[in-house]
Amino acid sequence: MTYIMSLFLFGLVLGLIAVASNPSPYFAALGLVIVAGMGCGVLVGHGGAFLSLILFLIYLGGMLVVFAYSAALAAEPYPESWGSRSVVVYMGVYLVAVVVASVLFWGGWYEGSWVPSDDLAMFSSLRGDMAGVALVYSSGGGMLILSVWVLLLTLLVVLELTRGLSRGSLRAV
């Protein structure tokens, strides 16, 4: 299980480097999908299967559609790909930064701390992720509604900023 978690964390870091280093939204979308998949794999390994499923469905089902629509409005005739010189340089710089940070903090990581959340509570009647979902709907309803309104306002602002000269999404790109 430790090797699988290490693989998920390694894929998560590589996906984050791919998103951070690529200036083109077309190729960065693949990095976002990798990050979402690997992050959900880490959550499943720590005992949050339901939370991981919900996160994966909501993220890839909703937010990636908005990202793809915004990327379509910001079309470039010649986007920079994975093999471009600047992208490779940025990926190398970020990878060196991750290696330096991991060497600095190497003494604080122990294999025994990677225990799923369900193994820590012996006499619990609920799973950790299911109790969290129930708490969000019972006590966090107001924050959930506020978050929905903030996301809707952000979507409208981004679409208004990328609209162009009052021709909407039908403008000639």
pLDDT tens profile 31-40: 788 888 898 8
How many domains is the chain built from? Answer: 2
Cα separation, 77 vs 6, in Å, equals 39
Do 90 and 171 lie in a common domain? no
Q: For the segment 119-152, what is each residue's pLDDT rounded down to a tens digit?
A: 555 666 656 566 666 776 777 778 878 888 988 8
Query: Is the pLDDT assigned to residue 96 strictly greater than 90?
Result: yes
Average pLDDT, integer, range 30-52: 82
Are 121 and 152 part of one and the same domain? no
Using a cut of 0.85, tell me whether the model's pTM lies above it. no
Residue span of the structural domain in which 68 resides: 2-125
Residue 61 pLDDT grade (very low, low, confident, very high; cuts 50, 70, 90): confident
In this structure, the answer to whether residues 19 and 91 fall within a common structural domain is yes
Sign of the C-alpha dihedral, residues 77, 170, 32, 34? negative
Report phi then psi at 66, rounded to 5.
Answer: -65, -40
Question: What is the average pLDDT score of the chain?
Answer: 75
Q: Are residues 99 and 157 in the same domain?
A: no
Task: Give the model's pLDDT for residue 93.
Answer: 92
Whether 110 and 26 share a structural domain: yes
